[in-house]
Chain A
Amino acid sequence: MSLTETLSKRPLRALRLPRWLTGEAALMLALVLFVGVLSIAPLARLAWAALVPQGQFDASRIADILGGRRVVGATLNTIWISVAATCLATVAGTLAALLTTLTDMRARTLWVFGFVLPLMIPPQVTALAWVQAFSPSSPVLGALGLSLPPGTRHPLYSMGGIIFLLGLYNAPLVFLSVRASLQRLPASLVEAAHSNGAGRGAVIRDIILPLIRGGVFAGAALAFVSSIGNFGIQAMLGIPARVETLITMIYRRLNSYGPSALNDMALLALLLAVLTVIGMTLTAWLGRKGDQRVDSAHRAPRMTLGPWQWPVGLAAWGYLLVCLALPLSALFAAALVRGYGQPLNAETITFENFANALFHHKGIREAFVTSFWITCTTVAVLIPVAVALGYVLTWRRGWVAKLLRLASELAYALPGIIIGVAMILFFLRPLPFIGTGLYGTVWVILAAYFSNFLALALRPILGGYAQIDRALDEAAQLAGAGIFTRLRTIILPSVAPAATAAGILVFMTAINEIQTSVLLVSSRAQTIGPMIIFLEEAGSSTLAAAVGCLMVLLVLALMGLSLVFGRRLPEGVLPWRD
């Protein structure tokens, strides 16, 4: 039998399926269902509960809630904190990017690793570490005699403290974005300016900064979104300091009043969502018409620091010392003493906290196991979904693709706590057909993870798609391969590096996740992320510190592994690699 005969037979076989359900249509349907059930429906439910709680729109209720003195205060705090933190992060991140991409500073690779590291440490651990940094057991300040005497107000328990930590935490986001634009900057532009007689300062001011403006504002937008939605730092510092923000308000009211406060909290969550979108849009507008030139072949020439090598290096490493060594050493020291506030010395040192955290504390162990398996499940489900979704978003037009793109961008911007509230609302009532509700079970957390991390998984994968030639897929299509065969045999191998990187990122973020799960955990279902807050609230500071240390070690181990085994991963997808 000749091939032409086999080929002519194929359409017949394919015709047996209902025509509308073959290949692409089935894929689109599955994606729309996935995104619809896990993102759009809960968010729609949230908006519904916020605006029309008892089936009718009540403007005076909305005005009452939003006009309340405490809500207005929390809103203003939220805006001020996130704007100020964004400015701080933008300045620090841009300076760091200029320094590492444009100069010949020594040991850049190591410095970049250190600079990006805070981004990978869960924010609640960062906050805890900074709180410990001023305690008497802190090896740095304590040794210098600078630690606070008991009874004084902790300097970080303040508005300024929150802004400071959020700024430091988000500086790497700006750094990564600015560095990406700097690496696309054609060297010839800088050289042309030099040959016109411009000095270094003038080149940076007149050529480089205007050209990377888009990158700076894109980074600022990310920093804003991340600051406004950062539960870990806002809660760990803001609650003791009585600086209320929208996030902590939602969390505390839901904790004290339970589901009865849900509709009102949905309204606050909606307000938070609106603020986030406004902030992001505004930043994007400021950075509009950013230079889009793509020129990855040439790197901007490095300027020699010359006599400035030492002072600049000193300042750069000093920054890392303050941002990394100071809090982390305090965290480890706190985990190594028996009680909060004890100085660390040969007599007080103990491994009891670590032993408790690892072996004896049932709650922690169970929480870790839960976190681990739902994280693995999340990665296993989201990566294939993100590969398929990336395919549609990159290569398909039409309103379904547009809708999916909008939904995934929205999910990227909205703070996790909003997803948390939405998930509670969505799953509170018994499910149809099953009869029991999922609220309070681990399944809600899993659903929230799917919803929350899809956008995170999508980003690197979309980057991967941008680098492969669409004709590769079309050639396979002409060879007769259907969409699922192509995804498996052509697309997946081509985007595999990006998909791996996406998997690593999602794993590292989900394993210590706090923003969504803090509202969804219950006595039946605990995850490890919020554990630190609960332990700290219950007064077990040293145990909390030990858990924090273990999280940091886990993150470091994963980053190290990815560096060792990730040589084939594409450049720029793992943020901590220079």
Chain B
Amino acid sequence: MSDIRIDAISKSFGPTQVLKDVSLAIEAGEFVAVLGPSGCGKTTLLRCLAGFEQLDGGHIAIGGETVSAPRAHVPPERRGIGVVFQNYALWPHMSVAQNVAYGLKIAGIPRAERMKRVSRVLDLVALGPLANRRPADLSGGQRQRVALARCLAMESRVVLLDEPLANLDVHLRGALEEEFAAFHARSGATMFYITHDQAEALALADRVAVMNAGRILQFDRPEALFSQPASETVAGFIGEGRVLEAEDIRPLGNGRAAASLMGQTVELRCAPGERARGRAKISFHPGDLQLTETQGIAANVTRATYRGAYLRAEVMAGPGGHVPLSVNIAAPASLTRGQRITLALRDGWVIPDAAA
């Protein structure tokens, strides 16, 4: 009843087309993150969902009811959607409790019931003692929790969040990420969470939509995005992914294929329908490369940095020594600049042919 169907929507501001043929099917109760670089249209997509922008084409249905189409537009106040704004949008002239109670008051909930619900929600986010403060007298994290409480109180079935943690420091982010997860578990609401921090997206979401330049590139589970990117752009965007060209792709069946990379034969994962190809793009991550004593890709260390749990090495690899790669090497290891090493690729993915 609170599933979201976004169907081929487009939106332009003057001559610039900001959303191009965007489609997403989100199940009721799902936690979806939208991930993309700055300016790619994430906020615009959220504003279309909330009803602040009119569509130029396509349509949006929530719980089976069409709420946005070029000619039919349900105004935001009748959509029953909750939004947590990036800068919180707390009303400065109202106390914390009044902020939380406002929507209930508009809905005509009697005073006694309203008070009860407000204090329960404020207790949930541990803001009970601050109920009578003004937003101006709160810290950044507390403000964020008030914004969350305001959303919780409305018990909206669909909650949209626009980079809710962008203004907070790292420690607070961790704490609030847990809070969002708990919020989701408790309310069972469909969550639509915008961020440009992929760690956040991968950690929180059931599924992640990767967006770029007004298009959805891939909409999938976090682990699928990481290990089976559908395109070069996604592969390069997620988890420091590296894309290289390999030759002579030979499917081995069982979702595996052999290929030749920098003169070495490697075994990779591939899509079930993959066919033999002369060359293809493959993707892997710094952790997929390992030092080996036997045969492998020769490389020259140009820089090694200590990263705590592992050692990060930048190397120039291949026969000609001009393919830059990043390698993560598990902790007790030492590498020095100029050292010659041999690398083996333990895992990788053949990016499906876009034309096929």
Which residues of A are in contact with B by a Cβ distance under 8 Å? 2-4, 6-8, 10-11, 14, 23-24, 469, 471-472, 474-482, 485, 489-490, 493-494
Binary interface encoding of chain B residues 61-94 relative to chain A, with 1 for a CB under 8 A from any of its CBs, else 0: 0000000000000111111111101010111110
> Does A3 lie within 8 Å of B109, measured CB to CB?
yes
Q: Does B170 contact A (CB under 8 A)?
A: no
Cross-chain contact of B91 among A4, A6, A490 (Cβ < 8 A): A490
B305 to chain A, nearest CB (A): 35
CA distance A140 to B50 in the complex (A): 69
Given contacts A471-B89, A478-B50, 15 further A-B contacts (CB under 8 A): A6-B107, A23-B77, A472-B89, A472-B92, A474-B83, A475-B89, A475-B90, A475-B91, A476-B106, A477-B52, A480-B77, A480-B106, A482-B77, A493-B93, A494-B91
Cross-chain contact of A479 among B75, B108, B154 (Cβ < 8 A): B154
CA distance A476 to B74 in the complex (A): 16
Cross-chain contact of A469 among B89, B104, B117, B156 (Cβ < 8 A): B89
CA distance A7 to B80 in the complex (A): 7
The listed residue with most B CB atoms (<10 A of its CB), out of A2, A3, A24, A472, is A3
Segment 129-186 of B: residues with Cβ below 8 Å from A: 150, 154-157
**Residues of B with C-beta under 8 A to A14:** 78
CA distance A431 to B74 in the complex (A): 41
**Residues of A with C-beta under 8 A to B76:** 474, 477-478
CA distance A478 to B117 in the complex (A): 19
> Does B157 lie within 8 Å of A10, measured CB to CB?
no
B285 to chain A, nearest CB (A): 38
Tell me whether A2 and B85 are in contact in the complex, defined as CB-CB below 8 angstroms, given that A474-B52, A480-B80, A480-B106 are known contacts: no
CA distance A485 to B77 in the complex (A): 11
Cross-chain contact of B78 among A10, A469, A471, A494 (Cβ < 8 A): A10
Which residues of B are in contact with A by a Cβ distance under 8 Å? 50, 52, 74-83, 85, 87, 89-93, 102-104, 106-109, 117, 150, 154-157
The listed residue with most A CB atoms (<10 A of its CB), out of B74, B80, B83, B93, is B80
Tell me whether A478 and B155 are in contact in the complex, defined as CB-CB below 8 angstroms, given that A3-B107, A7-B107, A471-B89 are known contacts: no
> Does B157 lie within 8 Å of A4, measured CB to CB?
yes
Consensus secondary structure, chain B interface: loop
> Does A2 lie within 8 Å of B155, measured CB to CB?
yes
Closest to B104 in A: A3
> Does B78 lie within 8 Å of A480, measured CB to CB?
yes
> Does A4 lie within 8 Å of B155, measured CB to CB?
yes
Tell me whether A478 and B77 are in contact in the complex, defined as CB-CB below 8 angstroms, given that A3-B154, A6-B108, A10-B107 are known contacts: yes
CA distance A106 to B7 in the complex (A): 67
The listed residue with most B CB atoms (<10 A of its CB), out of A2, A6, A24, A480, is A480
Total A-B residue contacts, Cβ distance less than 8 Å:
88
**Residues of B with C-beta under 8 A to A3:** 104, 107, 109, 117, 154-155
A sample of 11 inter-chain contacts (CB < 8 A) reads A3-B107, A3-B117, A23-B77, A474-B52, A475-B83, A475-B89, A478-B79, A479-B154, A480-B78, A493-B91, A494-B91
B333 to chain A, nearest CB (A): 48
> Does B89 lie within 8 Å of A494, measured CB to CB?
no
**Residues of A with C-beta under 8 A to B81:** 478
CA distance A394 to B301 in the complex (A): 58
Cross-chain contact of B85 among A4, A7, A23, A471 (Cβ < 8 A): A471
**Residues of A with C-beta under 8 A to B156:** 7
**Residues of B with C-beta under 8 A to A476:** 91, 102, 106
CA distance A4 to B77 in the complex (A): 14
**Residues of B with C-beta under 8 A to A479:** 77, 102-103, 106, 150, 154
**Residues of B with C-beta under 8 A to A494:** 91-93
> Does B78 lie within 8 Å of A478, measured CB to CB?
no
**Residues of B with C-beta under 8 A to A489:** 102
> Does A469 lie within 8 Å of B87, measured CB to CB?
yes
CA distance A493 to B80 in the complex (A): 25
Closest to B151 in A: A478
**Residues of B with C-beta under 8 A to A23:** 75, 77
B278 to chain A, nearest CB (A): 53
CA distance A4 to B90 in the complex (A): 23
A542 to chain B, nearest CB (A): 51
> Does B80 lie within 8 Å of A8, measured CB to CB?
yes
The listed residue with most A CB atoms (<10 A of its CB), out of B50, B77, B155, is B77
B302 to chain A, nearest CB (A): 39
CA distance A154 to B324 in the complex (A): 90
**Residues of B with C-beta under 8 A to A493:** 91, 93
A375 to chain B, nearest CB (A): 29
Closest to A490 in B: B91
Closest to B89 in A: A471
| Shortest beta-carbon contacts, A-B, top 6 | A479-B103, A471-B89, A493-B93, A475-B89, A471-B85, A477-B76
A90 to chain B, nearest CB (A): 36
**Residues of B with C-beta under 8 A to A4:** 80, 155, 157
Closest to B160 in A: A478
> Does B107 lie within 8 Å of A471, measured CB to CB?
no
A47 to chain B, nearest CB (A): 32
CA distance A23 to B85 in the complex (A): 24
> Does B104 lie within 8 Å of A485, measured CB to CB?
no
**Residues of A with C-beta under 8 A to B75:** 23-24, 477
CA distance A76 to B128 in the complex (A): 73
The listed residue with most B CB atoms (<10 A of its CB), out of A7, A23, A482, A485, is A7
A12 to chain B, nearest CB (A): 10
> Does A481 lie within 8 Å of B83, measured CB to CB?
no
B5 to chain A, nearest CB (A): 19
Closest to A473 in B: B89
> Does B77 lie within 8 Å of A481, measured CB to CB?
yes
B283 to chain A, nearest CB (A): 38
Cross-chain contact of B83 among A8, A24, A478, A490 (Cβ < 8 A): A478
Tell me whether A472 and B106 are in contact in the complex, defined as CB-CB below 8 angstroms, given that A8-B80, A11-B78, A478-B81 are known contacts: no
